[in-house]
Structure 1
Amino acid sequence: MKHDKLVFIRIICLVGIIGEVLFPNSTVGILFGLILAITSVIFLLMLKNEMALEKSDCENNYSISIMCISVVVLLLIIVGYMILKDFQIITLSDTQEYFFSEILVFSFMALFGSCANALPFNKYVGLRLPWTLVDYQTWRYAHKLLHELSFPAILFSIVILKMFPNKSKTLMIWSVLLYLGVPSFFSYLYYKKKHQ
């Protein structure tokens, strides 16, 4: 039964992607995608007690709730802004828009980082890589790294963005890639060393 519910989440996500293709750059497509995304997150919240792959993690699932709820809030903020912008209720300059996106990205990095160390070993929420999904110790190592690097990565990104304000978009992309890439790379090395 649990497996059937999780397959249903994947189907919802697939339908959401198809909806985005059928209604590109339209308010209808955005709302359709938002409703399906929130529905799939609600299903994840309902199944959070069944998602942990390690018995010792079964009771430590508050971090999944925090992550799921923060994703819903983030989606609501982004979609709300896009709709208000489409109807010209809110108009931000490029600089203000970049600043707004930086606040959202850094907020999510801070939330993800603060929850990462406590995330239970699962296949749906967290740093889901082939080597973290097959080994409990590697999962713990990757998420501990992610937790420890979050705030230094945010501070470093803020400093770099202040030094190069004209390169905001590129620097934000690289900040997120490095933030996720460093724990991914080192956890891969950890996994390889452990399984030699």
Structure 2
Amino acid sequence: MLGDNIKKYRREREYTQEELSAKLHVVRQTLSKWENNASVPDAEVLIRISRALEVPVSVLLDLTPEEETVDLTDELARVNEELAERNQQLQRNTLASQKRGQIVFLSFAALMVVILVDNPLASLLLVGACIALSLLILYRNLSLFSESTVSISQMKALKVVTIFNAVFLIVLLAVCGLLQAQVITLTAQQEQWLLMGVFSGLFLFFGALSPRLPYQRHTGLRLPWTVRDEDTWNLAHRIIGVISLPLTLLYLAAAFSVSDMELIGTISVIALMLYIGIPGVISLVFFWRKYH
């Protein structure tokens, strides 16, 4: 960009910022802003920069021979617009990093509560509060964490998933708290039904919404290769949509065939591993072939 070229040729001419700014009759801070692409000089000053650095204006602006006849003022306006978009994106990235930091801090706080708090009920409440705050931050900043090209339907899917996650975790923590306090009790059969209902509901819910989730880094099948490539992300989530119903039916058939709670738990873990593993492996092969 223009600022990078000014810096490059200033260094090639062995000028300091103070020396070049003196030649241009501007303060050093102004030259620093140009070199850092925070602003652009006007047409008259750009010509002075060109003469001082002994570099054609077309070279400073990265113009091709066909573009050398364009109006200099219009070209600077275009560069200024590009810089404004770039600076806006940098501000957006900085804000997103701050919000991610808050979510990471709350996650770490939840982990420390689990380690340090002995009272199970108090631990559940504090962990629930940390999770709820994390999900609230995520929900309020979905557009910030997502690409600007996310459609209305995709954003709606993100919001639905985020709300579902919040409600599910709150209900789960509430049930665990009530069980811990012995306010409610469940028979062995009721525990089995609850476990199968939770896994089946999760499989079907995320299977229905996964193909609609846009490419981003906070909600979905976040594997090292899916978050690095949009095509890989889309493939993995389409596969989840395809396998969710048959896998749920197979899971229920296997779970109903046994009565031991430990076996049902093992079947549930295997089903979850398949739910993640099948799209994970297929998308990994796709990613590997695409880039190797």
User: What does the per-residue CA deviation read over 1:55-83, in whole Å, with 9 as the maximum and x for residues that have no partner?
Assistant: 43254211111111111111122111112
Residue number among 162, 168, 171 corresponding to 1:68 in the alignment? 162
CA contact (8 A) 2:208 2:241 kept: yes
Residue equivalent to 2:274: 178
TM-score with structure 2 setting the length: 0.64
Q: What amino acid does structure 2 have at the position aligned with 1:2?
A: A
CA contact (8 A) 1:52 1:58 kept: no
Q: Give the letter aligned to residue 119 of structure 1.
A: L
Paired residues in the alignment total 195
Matches within 5 A, 1:92-107: 92-107=186-201
Bigger shift: 71-80 or 136-145? 71-80
CA distance in 2, matches of 1:24, 1:182: 39
- For residues 127-142 of structure 1, the aligned pairs below 5 Å read 127-142=221-236
Q: Percent identity?
A: 22
Does the Cα contact within 8 Å between 2:120 and 2:180 map onto a contact in 1?
no
Alignment map for 1:73-92 (pairs within 5 Å): 73-92=167-186
Contact kept in structure 2, 1:19 and 1:32, CA below 8 Å: yes
Aligned partner of 1:122 in structure 2 is 216
Closer, same or farther in 2 for the Cα pair 1:139/1:175, shift >3 Å? same
Note the alpha carbon deviations across 1:70-101, whole angstroms, 9 max, x for none.
11111122111112112222111223112112
- 1:95-129 Cα distance to aligned partner (Å, 9 max, x none): 31121122112112211111100111111110000
Q: 1:138 to 1:24 in 2, by over 3 A?
A: farther
Alpha-carbon RMSD across the aligned residues, in angstroms, is 1.4
- 3-state SS in 2 of match to 1:121: coil
Aligned match of 2:78: none
Q: Structure 1: how far apart are the matches of 2:210 and 2:185?
A: 35
- The structure having more radius of gyration, on CA atoms, is 2
Q: Distance in 2 between matches of 1:91 and 1:163?
A: 25
State the structure with bigger RCO (CA 8 A, min sep 6), 1 or 2.
1
Q: Could you say what secondary structure the match of 1:168 adopts?
A: helix
| Aligned position for 1:30 | 124
Alpha-carbon distance between aligned partners in 2 of 1:164 and 1:190, rounded to the nearest angstrom:
37
Structure 2 counterpart of 1:35, one-letter code: A
Tell me the equivalent position of 1:48.
Answer: 142
Structure 2: stretches of 5+ with no match in the other structure: 1-94
Counterpart code for 2:220: G
TM-score under structure 1 length normalisation = 0.94
How many angstroms apart in 1 are the aligned matches of 2:265 and 2:97? 40
Write the mapping of 1:156-167 to structure 2, written as runs, cut at 5 A: 156-166=250-260, 167=263
Q: Name the SS of the counterpart of 2:218 in structure 1.
A: coil
Q: CA deviation at 1:165?
A: 3.0
Segment drifting more, 119-128 vs 82-91: 82-91
